[in-house]
Amino acid sequence: MNYVLDTNILVDALRSPSGASAELLRRALLRQLPLICSVPLFLEYEDVLLRAEQLSALQIERQQVLNLLDILAGSVKPIDIQFLWRPQLRDPKDDLVLELAVNGLGLGSAVAIVTFNQRDFLPQASHFGIQVIGPAQFFQGV
């Protein structure tokens, strides 16, 4: 199974270093979690994590976030978006996540989206055979 991390998981991982999201991120960085990503989603990660209010709330320096993103970029399997599936969801940013997951199915493996906003992806994700789970659910299934 391949996984897509919604941006809210990365934010939570940095805000709660001992939580489930942080453990998911740690596993991804160590390449113990098969994570897929697209350029548009990675740019969203960067945009959100580098916002002044995020840096202030996280009490972290810009360069630390850039270093984390550099490591993450080397840990994910990049997916080219071949098929556009927009709009499917109310939030265009969520469409980026769903679109990546749908294109990731082309790898021949199931895909799950890990997010705190599970309802925002349903029922559309299930129409494509994509699971939508929270970080705690991930660890219940492991």
Instruction: List the 131-133 sheet strands across, edge first.
Output: 2-5, 111-114, 131-133
Query: Residue 88 has what pLDDT?
Result: 72
> Mean pLDDT, consecutive 10-residue segments, the chain of 142 residues?
97 97 98 97 98 95 98 97 75 87 91 95 92 95 64
This prediction has a pTM of 0.93
Please list the residues that pair with 111 across neighbouring strands. Answer: 2
In whole angstroms, what is the distance from residue 64 CA to residue 71 CA? 11
Query: Residue 93 has what pLDDT?
Result: 81
Query: Residue 89 has what pLDDT?
Result: 73
The third-level CATH classification (topology) of the domain covering 2-141 is Rossmann fold (3.40.50)
